[in-house]
Amino acid sequence: MFTRRPLTQIPTAGHPSDGLCEFVRGDDSAGDSVGDISGDETVGEDTGRPRSDRADDPAGDRRRVRTAAAGVTTVLACLLVWFALIAPNDISRLTPGAFVRIPVEGLLVVALALVLPPRSRRILAALVGGVLGLLSIVKIIDMGFFAALDRPFNPVSDWSYVGPAVGVLSDSIGRTGAIASVVTAAVVTVAVIVFTPLSVLRLTRLVARHRATSIRCVTAFGVVWILCAVFGVQIVPGATIASTSAAGLAYDQVGQVRAGLQDQQTFANAAADDPVGSTPGDDLLTGLRGKDVVIAFVESYGRVAVQDSAFSPQVDAVLDAGTSHLRAAGFSSRSAFLTSPTFGGISWLAHSTLQSGLWIDSQQRYDQLVASDRFTLSDAFKRAGWRTVGDVPSNERDWPEGTSFYHYDKIYDDRNVGYLGPNFSYASMPDQYILSAFQRLELAKPDHAPVMAEIDLVSSHTPWAPLPQMIDWNTVGDGSVFDTMPAQGQSPDVVWRDPHQVQTAYGQSIEYSLNTLVSFVQTYGDDNLVLVVLGDHQPATIVSGPTASHDVPITIIAHDPAVMDRISGWGWQDAMRPGPLAPVWPMDTLRNRFLTAYGP
């Protein structure tokens, strides 16, 4: 007669599936190997087979599930750490070949895990994992910045862009989608920061349990790393198999912080050195006396709009037709390119660069600039007797810098131009209404003093859909005539499903803005109108491509030949469309050249 024995209890404290929890307990004896499953094999009394092999054995099933879970957990830990060590920070380089590399940082951590005692090894894993988690977040943010702004994230000054970015995202995919995206980003951030240290801990324990195998592997890979480093072996151009990318990214982040601190003093010195700022009003802008001067920034109007793109032939046709129409109305035009300090967004950096004659390529520099008393173009016009106006239709709240730094006599925004029509995604009103309101509120006043205005046109702002349509200027009224147009156009969420549709919509938005400007000059232009039309930056990479320059077109339009004669020595090309060989100037050089050309 057999005596039934109790099943041998299967130990679980050191089981692989408990690896993440063991980080909290500090249990360094836990097993991490997929095959490290221990326990007595109890023979079933009625079959003669090990009880763990019986199909109806719950304990065996649980053990197999735990073994599989341990394997999956270890693989996921490897992938997360591998991403942190190897992944590029530019999404255009995120290819399978970019991950076929040997990270020297990983080899060093494995080597240290083999020689350190358990407690020190846990501390090492926590520190390294924390750093790698932060680097992973930086890489993900960098990918977004490269895609949108063609540059990496700056840890010193770029945090202030979160709010505007969420606003643009809301305009592109809707408020609900934007909120969901923000929540998802927050969850991913927390998950990466939490699970990367846990993953490093799990892997270092695995290394310690398999010392012999780990020593052989780290030695072999170390030799291969050295050989690849010496001979510069690459699978993907620009990414050697012998990788130091994690250490390089960490070094770059520290370097950006250091450079940002040093740049504060450098920029302060440059801003203070401005001989033009002391020029008397009588010696300023004598060549434009009596003229109404409008500086019109066309949002996202970049070089890609007029050259080497699928939509540039259509934009070029608009510019060529505009040149002909303006000539028929007695206006001439000359064009070139300026290199903008920004790309894909953050337009105020370009506006302040043009106005101040300083290179404003970061939020830190912008904040320093507007807190200073740097002499601007609007200051020059104001000192010389012009009424100065800032027209920023996208603003829905007060803009203190408009009066404290630019010293505008009048600032127009979304709240005070009488617009009662619909929004067009980001654009709070169509460009045609912006110009119509400016004409009504400023230029149409009888015997008005000469006006200098910076007007920011926004219909060509991302997401470039839906777009308004041109109407008769006499019917613009309070803007309610545009009420039905948003529903007739494409919605952003549909357009942004396909890069080709995005590019097409961008080209159409530029066509609309340029046609509006030409029509405005034809309708309201007189002998005293001078128009400076330029882009603020290139559109995002999805339109411009990964290798686009920062160049934007600029055109000066005037009816008085004497105005154009003043810039005859600039070498700019006739007509509204600058060709491939047109001059290219840094945007910060235009202020001084403009004041010189139109000075005494």
Residue 590 placed within a domain? yes
Instruction: At 551, give phi and psi (nearest 5°).
Output: -80, 145
pLDDT digit string, tens, across residues 152-188 = 888 877 877 777 777 777 766 677 877 888 888 899 9
Based on the domain organization, do 422 and 476 belong to the same domain? Answer: yes
Q: Within 10 Å of residue 515's Cβ, how many Cβ atoms?
A: 18
Among the candidates 193, 224, 257, a domain finishes at: 257
Question: Measured between alpha carbons, how far is 296 from 101 in angstroms, rounded to an integer?
Answer: 49
Across the range 535-543, mean pLDDT stands at 95
Three-class secondary structure of residue 157 per DSSP = coil
pLDDT digit string, tens, across residues 449-488 = 999 999 999 999 999 999 999 999 999 999 999 999 999 9
Among the candidates 221, 241, 257, a domain finishes at: 257
CB 200 within 8 A of CB 74: no
Residue 272 placed within a domain? no
Based on the domain organization, do 374 and 423 belong to the same domain? Answer: yes
Based on the domain organization, do 285 and 250 belong to the same domain? Answer: no
Q: Give 227's contacts (C-beta < 8 A, 6+ positions apart).
A: 233
Question: Measured between alpha carbons, how far is 44 from 230 in angstroms, rounded to an integer?
Answer: 61
What residue type is 140 in one-letter code?
I
The answer to which of 137-146, 253-262, 435-444 has the lowest mean pLDDT is 253-262
Question: Measured between alpha carbons, how far is 594 from 122 in angstroms, rounded to an integer?
Answer: 64
**Averaged pLDDT of the chain:** 88
CB 288 within 8 A of CB 563: yes
Residue 41: pLDDT over 80: no
Residue 345 placed within a domain? yes
Residue 404: pLDDT over 90: yes
Based on the domain organization, do 245 and 324 belong to the same domain? Answer: no
Based on the domain organization, do 180 and 317 belong to the same domain? Answer: no
Based on the domain organization, do 307 and 164 belong to the same domain? Answer: no
The answer to which of 255-259, 357-361, 362-366, 387-391 has the lowest mean pLDDT is 255-259
Across the range 316-332, mean pLDDT stands at 97
pLDDT digit string, tens, across residues 259-290 = 887 888 899 999 888 988 889 989 999 999 99
pLDDT digit string, tens, across residues 65-98 = 888 888 899 999 999 999 999 999 888 888 888 8
Based on the domain organization, do 305 and 441 belong to the same domain? Answer: yes
pLDDT digit string, tens, across residues 44-69 = 444 444 444 455 677 777 888 888 88
- Token pair listed for 401: 């810098």
Task: Indicate yes or no: pTM above 0.75.
Answer: yes
Based on the domain organization, do 148 and 297 belong to the same domain? Answer: no
pLDDT digit string, tens, across residues 87-144 = 998 888 888 888 899 999 999 999 999 999 999 999 999 999 999 999 999 998 888 8
Q: Give 101's contacts (C-beta < 8 A, 6+ positions apart).
A: 86, 235, 239, 240, 241, 242, 243, 245
* Strand duo 234-236 + 332-339: pairing: unpaired
Q: Give 98's contacts (C-beta < 8 A, 6+ positions apart).
A: 86, 87, 88, 236, 239
For residue 444, what is the domain's CATH number? Answer: 3.40.720.10
Helix, strand and coil content of the chain, in percent to the nearest 5, comes to 55, 10, 35
Based on the domain organization, do 213 and 348 belong to the same domain? Answer: no
Question: Measured between alpha carbons, how far is 131 from 153 in angstroms, rounded to an integer?
Answer: 17
Based on the domain organization, do 343 and 223 belong to the same domain? Answer: no
**Overall residue count recorded for the chain in this entry:** 600
Residue 136 placed within a domain? yes
CB 333 within 8 A of CB 495: no
Estimate the crossing angle of helix 118-149 against helix 104-115, to 10 degrees.
Answer: 170
Radius of gyration of the chain (CA): 32
Residue 276 placed within a domain? no
CB 293 within 8 A of CB 486: no
pLDDT digit string, tens, across residues 495-521 = 998 999 999 999 999 999 999 999 999
CB 517 within 8 A of CB 499: no
Based on the domain organization, do 129 and 39 belong to the same domain? Answer: yes
Domain span including residue 240: 16-257
Q: What total number of domains does the chain contain? A: 2
> Peptide bond preceding 103: is omega within 30 degrees of 0, i.e. cis?
no
Residue 2 placed within a domain? no
Residue 1 placed within a domain? no
Residue 487: enclosing H or E segment and its boundaries?
Answer: helix 485-488
Q: pLDDT value at position 165?
A: 76
Residue 275 placed within a domain? no
Based on the domain organization, do 490 and 376 belong to the same domain? Answer: yes
Residue 6: pLDDT over 60: no
